[in-house]
Amino acid sequence: MSEIHMPRLSDTMEEGVISTWVKKVGDKVSSGDVLVEIETDKAVMEYEAYEDGYLVKQTASEGDTVAIGEVIGIIGDSPDAVPEESGGSDAPAAEEKAAEPEERAESEEEPAEATSSAPAEPTAPAGDADGPRPRTSPLARRLAKEYGLDITKVQGSGPKGRIVRADIEAAAKDGYAAQDVPAAEEKAAPSAPTKAPAAQSFDDGRDSEELKTSNVRKVIARRLTESKQTVPHFYLRRAIDAEALKAFRAQINEQLSSTGVKISFNDLIVKACATALKLHPAVNTSWVEDKLIQHHRVNVGVAVAVDAGLVVPVLHDTDKATLSEISTRTRDLAGKARDNKLKPQEMSGGTFSVSNLGMFGVDSFSAVINPPEAAILAVGAMRPEPTVVDGEVQVRNRISLELSVDHRAVDGAVGAAFLKDLAEILEEPMRIIL
């Protein structure tokens, strides 16, 4: 018998949702077969078997949310094998003592990045001098803290009474609240939660309802909040004359007409950014835990809008790719993003990002940095504007660029020099391919 654990399928994943069981109980399983499709914080991904056997039990059903490391199924040697009761989250007390302390788990909102298979999720200590503590997951403890709940008053629905995320959310919805109870009274308090007095309800006139929130949307919200709260942004703005860029694109697409490849303005901008990053390696950096990290590969992320929010697939080694390769890879990745089929490696390793809202008619905007990258370029729409050329007013196509920069990693003058060269490359677009 071997247990199937919820894997860590992305660097920001804390839990996964069982989307579809591809293999049913009793099915023969071979190494490499897709067992289950899992919705992560970024996409729906396939999880493959690592050994031969038979799927004899599914401990999590389709639609269930499961923390990393929890058991979701069991593989046996024969279809009639009877699985023993899974230890999964019910490790012996000695193993629990060796697990991460509760105080540390509560203070760390992001799990450590996995370098191999994900370890079983740590549980809270079995007890202390003040009496037994409830079995909880780190995610449940963090959510309880955010909701202002006393987790000892929440009834757990997991194995052996373990408190999981669903219990915290249910308690918050029902109106349970943390209470300051003296230690002597707390020991005598019943284990069942005590409902706080309900606030007087009234019609606020908005006719509102709570919508189902995907894992992708939750992670977007958390990462953007962290970016604005922890990354000191500064912004540099510059408009470019796009006449030469427009003519250059038309010429290239005419030459590529027989290949079926079509170069977009965004493809040209992405390639120009890669060229400028090679000229200014100081921008191709990250500030991580009081250390400045220099990246020697240029991997440009391209923001793609999907139904669940915004994802940023990454074009690895963008500086070495041709315009045709950038065009083809960008469209392939964008299609996968919309179908929730992006692989973890296709969303990881970015060193710089481009966000283009010009196709929506947006003139200019300020983009939020995608940590741990040091900068992101916001691209607005191409607009015909009156422009002074050689002392005469002419109507010229122009594009607004705005660079958001992490001031911890990049100084103002360095960012300005990068944007200056980027603008000049776009205004002399032959430099993009030379």
Tell me the catalytic residues: 407
CA atoms of 120 and 98, how far apart (whole Å): 12
* Cα 110 versus chain centre, distance: 12
Q: How far apart are the first and last CA of the chain?
A: 59
Helix or strand holding residue 248 (H, E): helix 243-255
On the 0-12 / 13-18 / 19+ scale of CB atoms within 10 A, 426 is buried
CA atoms of 434 and 431, how far apart (whole Å): 5
CA atoms of 371 and 389, how far apart (whole Å): 40
Classified as helix, coil or strand, 383 is strand
Nearest to 98 by CA among 116, 135, 68, 123: 123
In Å, how far are 304, 325, 331 from 335, measured between CA atoms?
9, 15, 6
Q: CA 306, 41, 2, 51 torsion: positive or negative?
A: positive
In Å, how far are 1, 32, 53, 157, 280 from 23, measured between CA atoms?
17, 12, 12, 26, 50
- Residues 38 and 6: beta-carbon distance below 8 Å: yes
Please identify which residue in the block is written with the tokens 């007890």: 127
CA atoms of 221 and 212, how far apart (whole Å): 14
CA atoms of 244 and 423, how far apart (whole Å): 12
